[in-house]
Amino acid sequence: MRFSDATKIAVTLHVNGRPVAAEVEPRVTLAAFLRDHLDLTGLHVGCGHGVCGACAVLMDGLTARACTLLAVAAQGARIETIEGLSDRGALRALQRTFAEHGALQCGFCTPGMLLAAHELLAETPAPSPAQIREALSGVICRCTGYGPIVDAVAAAASESPPAEPRPDGLPSADAPPSDAPPSQTPPDEGAPS
Amino acid sequence: MTPAAFDYVRAETREHALEILACHGDDAALLAGGQSLVPMLSLRLARPTIVIDIGGLSGLSGLERRPEGLFVGALTRHRDLARAEAAFAQIEADAPLLSEAARWVAHPSIRNRGTLGGAIALGDGAAEYPAAAIALGARVALAWRRGERRVQADAFFVGPMMTEAAAHEMVLGLEIPPLGPLDAFGFCEIAERRGDYALAGAAIVARRDAAPRVALFGAADAAKLAGGASKALAGDAPADWDEALCAAAGEAARADLGDSALDPARRHLAGVAVARAAADLAKRARAQARGTR
Amino acid sequence: MSGRAAPGLRWPRLLTGRGRYVADLAVRGAREAAFVRSPHAHADIRGVNVAEARAAPGIDAVFLHDDLAAVLRPWRGSHGLFPDLAAPEQTALARDRVRHVGEPVALIVGESRALCEDAAELVAVDYAPLAAVTGPEDAVAPEAPTLHAEAPGNVCLERAVRSEGLEQTFRDAALTVEATFGFGRHTGVPLEPRGLIAAYDAAEGRLVVHHSHQCPAAMQDAFAQLLGLEERRVRVICPDVGGAFGIKQQVYADEMAVVAAAVLLRRPIRFLADRLESMASDIQARHHVVRGALAVSAEGAIRAIDVDDIHAIGPYSQYPRSSAGEGRAMLSLSGAPYAMAAAGARTRAVFTNLGMSGHYRGVGHPIAAAVTEGLVDLAARRLGEDPWAFRRRNFAPYDGAPRTSALGVAFEPLPFAACLDALEAGGRRARLDAWRRDARARGVLAGYGIAAFVEMTTRGPGFYGDGGVRVSTRDGCTLRLEPSGAVRGASSVTEQGQGVETAVAQIVADALGAPLDQVEILTGDTAVAHHGGGTWGSRSLAVGGHAAWTAARRLRAEILEIAGALLQTDPAALDLQGGAVRDQDGAPRIALSELAALCHFQPHKIPGERQPQLTASAAFGPLDAPFRAGCGVQLSAVEIDPETGLVRAVDHVVAHFCGAVVNPLLVDGQIKGGVVQGLGAALSEELAYDADGQLLSATLADYRVPMAPETPDIEVLHVERPAGAADDNDDAPPRFIGVGEAGTAGASAAALNAINDALAPRDAALWRIPATPARVLAALGAIGD
């Protein structure tokens, strides 16, 4: 795809470990840049307005929604996509347990789910089901009903060695809100049957 | 759903950003984390001719203890406030309400990128920080080409996505009078789904030496101080607030909303949120009294 | 059948970011497309000025209705079985009037989507707004504006069924319960929005469309028919499809416009609907108001049901299937799980200035189930009887004999009571009762409810075929043995994530005797597979699996014959298992790979101068019954915060009967995913329109699909065919029953009953979904209506 001739801006960044230098129109989102410019189509644009979570990438080690970022604003960033993470084996345990548990159907949300789960496990090696659901709360899956994904993440957690350390060296979880009102507490072991 | 064309400048310094902002005013948009601006660009709801990227500016992120209070930089990310670890541990001591509010912002990947200043500058009536800032008695620090000013948070959020900041002004951060050891806060957000904008919410701060401040969000088009509810809670020590008092504060909050409530359900829920935030505060106050904060 | 939980064959690719959805395909020279869509729900178009847009940078062309008319004819969503169904003409681009927000008015084709959107802003349309019709009951109000002169009163279709003596049965009843139910407007939200790439080769008159769709063969037919092309020169390919749920089953106006433009421009054009376009223009569904009544005898026997349904379709009858589906389900399924003497149902589909409406997962099933089961609970409550016991006594008996329901629909025997038993097993009710008691003691309104449902699957040709609707109810499969011993197949089923491709491969592997990893199945390409129905109405595995099984058995027979000749053994004494020809005792005689290589490269070594075909093909479509039914009972448990009105689903169990299970991982996936769509409908999802027909839930932030924290764990219990029933035998084609609608069919009903169980201690009731906080608070009297 060719971008229009409006004033382009130089941007340099690292994508999947490789330096990328490009000139892009300011209005191009990082999602469009990665997909159309670098042919990294593993991330998907399910909504384009920052809700569905299918366009997840790792930006400087943390998940980000590529549709809510401008490519030009990713100057100097280290971006990893589902392709790069897969190729270097970072998602192996999750990919296996996702398949075993039927944690995907159409596959469109899968990059978002895998990256969200990956981020969770890097910080919280043994998450509770409620923590898993909280960590996945920003990714829409319309096929599975989420349960199989939660099971797959729990299974990956229970069998994997501690994940790679976080880039900023911070060890622990992004906890769900404390003292949430009852109606807002994620479901836990209180299920009746 | 692609943005309309705009020019883009990566600001080198704060002064650089403010210079460009002064030139373009209403036609410019400041880009920090981008979590609200970029979707609005994509939806073509925001139509700036120029986007000034301040995301790389130094000195606008993190915490600083100043004589006027705790200064939280505009580029501080939700994630860091929510986690309150390492460099951000002070937030838990001085303004734990801000930390609590951050945990309720959207979803993990948005908290990773989104910034406090972005949320303050946007002034969404259903967002958490504006109410937290009002309850804390915080001041919004603004800069323009020729200087800086401070605006009390309760006067800053004036309407739907409307703030006191002029087109040529940039949010530098929040200046928060720190909570003392005997001060307490309460927070409650009611939303249909985790991470949704609030249907209604309340943030309350009770300081030992001042009247409680109850702030509402979600129920009206801008966050606001609930004077009646604040008054209802004044007088009794927070540790003594009982269910009836909390409920009375909730009822007062509904009256405070007046015609500004977006619908009857939100008016009702605002009362619930205030009652629950007050109960939350009372619980924390009792815990503090027992020394188990 | 195999019953193995094999992972989906595409999953390794999809798990590593190597999916190939339409948006991922590279087509050299492809142009992009964007639309000017109506901002008005109802308006006359007085003029359109496209001069500035045509001159905009990067723009190849701007099309209006008349520009396309040369190559594209309009269509009507009519149905021959309903000659009185009003099916006004629909065009790809609006001609002189728009009838819903989002209706395409102009098509821009250019270098990039961004430039197309820029140019779209330069198109000036002079609209004269008209009053809009925005609800089912508004449409038939005396003063309602008329959408189409040919449908005065805005009724698209009205149908009624009444068994004899209905009134008398109600008069004789000891108890009659009544309620009026309201159902929000929903849509499927496949996470991959609609999209296609159309490429036309004028020299050969050849059209190739890569399409995110469920029914490539139907689209091949539609493109040929509507564009006047030779059917054989139209090829439709469905690559990876990111969910569909019925939403990618229709002919869409915008998509037809893009294909017509590709024919006119002679350049490939790619159109990817964005989410705003999807919310406004994807097929929508539900939006019913139903008045229902149930008559019960003094002995507590259900005697009759009577429902009066009105539902708001959009401004046109959907093409090619028509918009008769939701109403048909009401006429077929109201009261279906129960034995009763009499029944009546009336349904009206009415035109409104809302988005196009038609088939979304479950098509009417969730409405019929919610109304029936809501009335059943109401009756049990009124009688002071346990709702489980009340149902058990009133379920249609399972005695191995088919039965005809009070509405006159013939059903095969369905084991409702066995499903209820499965739910009740293991002390579940005691646990539920204890949980409910504890929760209520905490001040939470807790409740649980159940709902029986019937799922109509695997339709025969009677409905569409006899209606003159060109929708195939058949599917086919062609298999060939390759030199490596692997089997390559082409099937006309289509894959959108439900896993049918994997299940077909499993069936082939089992029926043939080859390892699953030696079977490759290609789907979704009209150039290589039979003309077939694709995916809709929970049919693809039942039909396509049958065809695949038959083809595999045929191929197996030839392989055994060749092996017999080679091994000088009676083929009947040989077996094919695990990729080897074996003696009856299992001892391997020759590997399939060895035999295949011999056939391909040294056929002269096979005695008898044979010409190995190594290819087998079969097609199948059900002829014995109008449909196959599955059934089940769903259980939902909810907690309602009485102060906030927030409803949280805390538990959900489905006891389900669907005959043989080919792959439990996939079947459970279908049911669980379907349940969550039903829970979304019950609790949070709603396409809200204001009184002017403006779409208020235009983004995914406003149309609230369930997310992980709001979704309970879902348990699926498979109920076997009760003893005494005929089992599939190895040499007869397996009789599969579809499972795609099951979860959605009963989930909303169970959740609504759970909500009312929770509200009962407050003497409150709610009959309208989604049960938003505002509606729950109103039901509780905390706020006004």
Say how far apart CA C10 and CA C477 lie, in whole Å.
19
What is the DSSP secondary structure assignment for residue A29, as one 8-state letter? B
Contact C772 B192 (CB under 8 A): yes
3-state secondary structure of C741: coil
**CB-CB contact of C574 with C567 (8 Å):** yes
Q: What is the pLDDT of residue C720?
A: 82
**CB-CB contact of C668 with C716 (8 Å):** yes
Please, which pLDDT band fits residue C723 given cuts at 50, 70 and 90? low
What is the DSSP secondary structure assignment for residue C75, as one 8-state letter? B
Q: What is the pLDDT of residue C785?
A: 78
Q: What is the mean pLDDT of residues C162-166?
A: 96
| Upper half-sphere CA count for residue C255 (Cβ side, 13 Å) | 27
Task: Give A190's contacts in chain C (Cβ within 8 Å).
Answer: 435, 650
Q: What is the mean pLDDT of residues C605-613?
A: 94
Backbone angles phi, psi at C223, to 5 degrees: -60, -45
> Among partner residues B3, B265, B275, which is closest to C783 by beta-carbon distance?
B265
| Distance, first Cα to last Cα, chain A | 53
Q: What is the mean pLDDT of residues C555-573?
A: 97
- A97: amino acid identity, one letter: T
> Among partner residues B42, B100, B276, which is closest to A48 by beta-carbon distance?
B42
- C448: amino acid identity, one letter: Y
Q: Which chains touch C (3 or more CB pairs under 8 A)?
A: A, B
Q: Is the pLDDT of residue C674 over 60?
A: yes
Residue ranges of alpha helices (H) inside C658-741 are: 664-683
Contact C111 A147 (CB under 8 A): no
Contact B192 C275 (CB under 8 A): no
Task: Give C636's contacts in chain A (Cβ within 8 Å).
Answer: none
Q: Is B197 on the interface with A (CB under 8 A)?
A: no
Backbone region of residue C179 per phi and psi (left: phi > 0; alpha: psi in -120 to 50; beta: other values): beta
Backbone angles phi, psi at A190, to 5 degrees: -80, 5
- B125: amino acid identity, one letter: G
Contact C777 B265 (CB under 8 A): yes
Residue pointed to by tokens 């005494």? C724
Task: Give B280's contacts in chain A (Cβ within 8 Å).
Answer: 179
Nearest CA in chain B to A55: B109
Q: What is the pLDDT of residue B290?
A: 87
Q: Is C645 on the interface with B (CB under 8 A)?
A: yes
Say how far apart CA C300 and CA C389 lie, in whole Å.
10
Q: Is the pLDDT of residue A184 over 60?
A: no
Q: Is the pLDDT of residue C381 over 60?
A: yes
> What is each CA distance from C201 to A100, C68, C195, C234, C692, in whole angstroms?
44, 17, 20, 10, 44
Q: What is the mean pLDDT of residues C86-106?
A: 98
Q: pLDDT of A138-158, one tens digit each?
A: 999 999 999 999 999 999 999
Nearest CA in chain A to B106: A138
Q: What is the pLDDT of residue B292?
A: 57
User: By C-alpha distance, which of C529, C464, C445, C465 is closest to C495?
Assistant: C529
Residue pointed to by tokens 């060695």? A161
Strand order in the sheet with B184-190: B184-190, B200-206, B213-217, B224-225
| Whole-number average pLDDT of chain B | 96
Q: What is the pLDDT of residue B69?
A: 92
> Among partner residues A42, A108, A137, which is closest to C707 by beta-carbon distance?
A137
Chain B with chain C: Cβ pairs closer than 8 A: 59
Q: What is the mean pLDDT of residues C641-650?
A: 98
Say how far apart CA C72 and CA A157 lie, in whole Å.
56
β-partners of residue A13 are: A20
Q: What is the pLDDT of residue C3?
A: 82
Q: Is B62 on the interface with A (CB under 8 A)?
A: no
Exposed, middle or buried, C626 (CB in 10 Å: 0-12/13-18/19+)?
A: middle
User: By C-alpha distance, which of C233, C216, C497, C245 is closest to C359?
Assistant: C245
Substitution target in B263, B269, B276 with the highest count of C β-carbons within 10 Å is: B269
Contact A193 C700 (CB under 8 A): no
Q: Is the pLDDT of residue A113 over 90?
A: yes
Which tokens is B131 given?
């109410």
The 3 state secondary structure assigned to chain B is CCCCCCEEEECCCHHHHHHHHHHHHHHEEEECCCCCHHHHHHCCCCCCCEEEECCCCCCCCCEEEECCEEEEECCCEHHHHHHCCHHHHHHHHHCHHHHHHHHCCCCHHHHHHCEHHHHHHHCCCCCHHHHHHHHHCCEEEEEECCEEEEEEHHHHEEECCEECCCCCCEEEEEEECCCCCCCEEEEEEECCCCCCCCCEEEEEEECCCCCCEEEEECCCCCCEECHHHHHHHCCCCHHHCCHHHHHHHHHHHHHHHHHHCCCHHHHHHHHHHHHHHHHHHHHHHHHHHCCCC
Say how far apart CA C170 and CA C249 lie, in whole Å.
41
Q: Is the pLDDT of residue A170 over 60?
A: no
Say how far apart CA A127 and CA A130 lie, in whole Å.
8
> Among partner residues A41, A105, A108, which is closest to C499 by beta-carbon distance?
A105
Q: pLDDT of A91-107, one tens digit each?
A: 999 999 999 999 999 99
Please, which pLDDT band fits residue C732 given cuts at 50, 70 and 90? confident
> What is each CA distance from B155 to B130, C81, C162, in whole angstroms?
11, 67, 66
Q: Is B7 on the interface with A (CB under 8 A)?
A: yes
| Whole-number average pLDDT of chain A | 86
3-state secondary structure of C276: helix
Q: Is the pLDDT of residue C744 over 90?
A: yes
Gap from B40 CA to chain A (nearest CA, Å): 8
Task: Give B204's contacts in chain A (Cβ within 8 Å).
Answer: none
Q: What is the pLDDT of residue C729?
A: 54
Q: Is the pLDDT of residue A175 over 90?
A: no
> Among partner residues B4, B86, B110, which is closest to A170 by beta-carbon distance?
B86
Contact B1 C274 (CB under 8 A): yes
Which tokens is C567 given?
């091994």
Substitution target in A57, A183, A184 with the highest count of C β-carbons within 10 Å is: A183
Q: What is the pLDDT of residue C721?
A: 72
Q: What is the pLDDT of residue C400?
A: 85
Q: Is the pLDDT of residue C546 over 80?
A: yes
Contact A41 C24 (CB under 8 A): yes
Q: pLDDT of A48-89, one tens digit each?
A: 999 999 999 999 999 999 999 999 999 999 999 999 999 999
**CB-CB contact of B49 with B27 (8 Å):** yes
Substitution target in A5, A9, A25, A27 with the highest count of B β-carbons within 10 Å is: A27
User: By C-alpha distance, which of B28, B263, B59 is closest to B168?
Assistant: B28
In chain A, count of helices (H) and strands (E)?
6, 5
Say how far apart CA C708 and CA B193 lie, in whole Å.
9
Q: Is the pLDDT of residue C754 over 80?
A: yes
Q: pLDDT of C7-30, one tens digit each?
A: 999 999 999 999 999 999 999 999
Q: Is A176 on the interface with B (CB under 8 A)?
A: yes
Say how far apart CA C163 and CA C346 lie, in whole Å.
12
Q: Count CB-CB contacts under 10 A for residue B147.
A: 8
Sequence-ordered strand ranges (E) for chain A? 9-15, 18-24, 56-59, 62-65, 78-80
Contact B269 C773 (CB under 8 A): yes
| Whole-number average pLDDT of chain C | 96
Please, which pLDDT band fits residue C722 given cuts at 50, 70 and 90? low
Substitution target in C643, C648, C679 with the highest count of B β-carbons within 10 Å is: C643
β-pairing verdict for C175-183 and C768-769: parallel
Nearest CA in chain A to B277: A181
Q: pLDDT of C490-505, one tens digit each?
A: 999 999 999 999 999 9
Q: ipTM score of the complex? A: 0.97
Q: pLDDT of B129-146, one tens digit each?
A: 999 999 999 999 999 999
Contact B265 C645 (CB under 8 A): yes
Which residues 54-73 of chain C have a CB within 8 Å of chain A?
Answer: 57-58
3-state secondary structure of C282: coil
User: By C-alpha distance, which of B28, B287, B57 is closest to B172?
Assistant: B57
Q: Is the pLDDT of residue C782 over 70?
A: yes
Q: Is C128 on the interface with B (CB under 8 A)?
A: no
Strand order in the sheet with C175-183: C155-162, C342-350, C302-312, C288-296, C175-183, C768-769
β-partners of residue B31 are: B53
User: By C-alpha distance, which of C683, C684, C678 is closest to C714?
Assistant: C678
β-partners of residue A11 are: A22
Which tokens is C245 given?
């749920």
Q: What is the mean pLDDT of residues B149-158?
A: 98
Q: What is the pLDDT of residue C731?
A: 72
Contact A73 B7 (CB under 8 A): no
What are the b/e assignments for B102-123, b being 16+ CB within 10 Å? bbbbbbbbbbbbbbbbbbbbbb
Percent of chain C with pLDDT over 70: 99
Task: Give C442's contacts in chain A (Cβ within 8 Å).
Answer: 182
Q: What is the mean pLDDT of residues A165-188?
A: 40
Q: Is the pLDDT of residue A180 over 60?
A: no
Which tokens is C532 given?
């077939």
Q: Is C437 on the interface with A (CB under 8 A)?
A: no
> Among partner residues A26, A169, A186, which is closest to B7 by beta-carbon distance?
A26
- A144: amino acid identity, one letter: T
Strand order in the sheet with B63-66: B63-66, B69-73, B170-176, B139-144, B147-152
Q: What is the pLDDT of residue A6?
A: 60
With the C-alpha atoms ordered A188, A189, A192, A193, is the resulting torsion angle positive or negative? positive
Substitution target in C15, C638, C715 with the highest count of A β-carbons within 10 Å is: C15
Nearest CA in chain A to C272: A45
Say how far apart CA A9 and CA A23 lie, in whole Å.
5
Nearest CA in chain C to B4: C118
Q: Is the pLDDT of residue C724 over 80?
A: no
Say how far apart CA C475 and CA C545 lie, in whole Å.
9
Task: Give the residue, C735 or C335, on which the prediction is more confident.
Answer: C335
Backbone angles phi, psi at B184, to 5 degrees: -145, 160
Which residues 196-225 of chain B have a CB within 8 Å of chain C?
Answer: 196-197, 199
Task: Give C498's contacts in chain A (Cβ within 8 Å).
Answer: 105, 143
Q: What is the pLDDT of residue C224?
A: 98
> What is each CA distance from B69 to B78, B180, B285, C677, C762, in whole angstroms?
20, 12, 22, 49, 50
Substitution target in A121, A174, A185 with the highest count of B β-carbons within 10 Å is: A174
Nearest CA in chain B to A178: B100
Q: pLDDT of B111-133, one tens digit each?
A: 999 999 999 999 999 999 999 99
Q: pLDDT of B194-242, one tens digit each?
A: 999 999 999 999 999 999 999 999 999 999 999 999 999 998 999 999 9
Residues 6+ apart with CB under 8 A from B58: none
Bond from prior residue into C57 cis (ω within 30 degrees of 0)? no
Q: What is the pLDDT of residue C463?
A: 94
Q: What is the pLDDT of residue B291?
A: 77
Which residues 70-129 of chain B have a CB within 8 Å of chain C?
Answer: none
